[in-house]
Structure formats: C-alpha cells, structure tokens
Structure 1
C-alpha cells in the first residue's frame, strides 16, 4: 500500500504504508518533516492535512475530539483531517494528502530521503 504526500513546497512523495498504521506515523517514519507534537494522541493539530477530494468519502468520519482539535488549526476546510486519526486500510491504498503549512516541522529545510528500496 502507498500514500502520496504533498508538502507545502509542492513536492510529492509516494510512501509505502502498512495496514493498521496511522498516516501520521507513515509520514513521520519515512522522514518527512511533520510536527506531530502529541505523537498521535489527538491532543494537538500539528498533523493537519488536506485529504484529496476523491478520498474524503472513503475515510471514517472524524470523531468529536478530532473536530474539536481541528477548530484550533489554520486554513481548515471540508478536506481537513488530523492524519494521526486516519488508519491505513487496503481501501486507502493510494491515499492523497497535503501537509498543511503549520504542520511542517521547524527544521523542514533539512533534506529528507524517502521512498522504498529495491
């Protein structure tokens, strides 16, 4: 399975993902510069992403807790989600998300190496 992540600079990264993993974990573990300050506890909004329009209907609806956290994020729209709350399933293979600028880690100028070997 794969997810496609667009960064604020316009670059797109295709990342291999495992079933049951949170999208935030996939992004973080491949070395992309995501803040994700609470580590996936749905206690901040520093993993705010915009989900591709064609994918929004395939996701589990956000919980009240997630919606409340998104209230504190910037540029929230109908595509906004916290990627720590999106769990990878086979139905989400190819998921497209864009990392919101405020979710970019402060050290984002560090070059990243992502992708799968082989």
Structure 2
C-alpha cells in the first residue's frame, strides 16, 4: 500500500514549501529536496548521500521521533558549520509514514 507524507520544507531563502513525499520509493529527505529543486543544483547532496559533506544539513522544527543519529552523521555534524541542537543530515532520514507533518528548515550553505 503506497502512502505519501506531507512535509513542510523552508528553503535557504526562508520560503516555505508544502510538499508531498512518497514513502514507497526508498527516498531520503535530501533526495526529496533535490527532486523538488528546493536548493540550487550542486549545493545539496554533494557527496551523494553518504554522510560525508553536510551539504544537506537541516533543522528539524517539528516534534517528530526520528531514527537515532549514527556515528558517521554525528561526526559529520561535529565538523559542519551552522550546527544547532536540532541539526540532522537529510540524507540520513528515510521518508517513512511516521514523517507525516514533518517541518524542516535547510541550513545555510557552508
């Protein structure tokens, strides 16, 4: 059974986008941002989603229970710019039905 989730993404210009993301395509948050072209080409997902560049850093604005941060994501955020308490790498957040209503803001470009 396919299910789409509604996500609000605030881009780097401060514009809010209400988008619909599929849960049946094994996508992550970074890939959704790229597919909707919410960041200029070449400024997000530079490493291809390997948690090696932090170009997809985002701030989680809603109160969602997300998967626990793995060591490689934690290490990358430790070296990134503009990190906040609610920072996560979009490439490490799979689009699942539990993300319904998620609100995020893209971090400034490093």
TM bin, normalised by shorter chain, reads 0.7 to 0.9
In structure 2, the residue matched to 1:107 is none
In structure 1, the residue matched to 2:47 is 38
8 Å CA contact 2:61–2:103 kept in 1: the answer is: yes
In structure 2, the residue matched to 1:67 is 74
- d(CA) in 2 for partners of 1:63 and 1:76? 16
Let me know the Cα RMSD of the aligned residues.
1.3
Larger fraction in strand? 2
| SS of structure 2 residue aligned to 1:101 | coil
Name structure 1 gaps, 5 residues minimum.
Answer: 104-118
- d(CA) in 2 for partners of 1:8 and 1:30? 14
In structure 1, the residue matched to 2:57 is 48
TM-score, length-normalised on structure 2?
0.85
- d(CA) in 1 for partners of 2:18 and 2:44? 19
TM-score, length-normalised on structure 1?
0.79
| SS of structure 2 residue aligned to 1:3 | strand
The 4+ residue runs of structure 1 with deviation greater than 6 A are none
In structure 1, the residue matched to 2:35 is 29
| SS of structure 2 residue aligned to 1:50 | strand
| SS of structure 1 residue aligned to 2:105 | strand
In structure 1, the residue matched to 2:104 is 97
Q: How many residues align?
A: 101
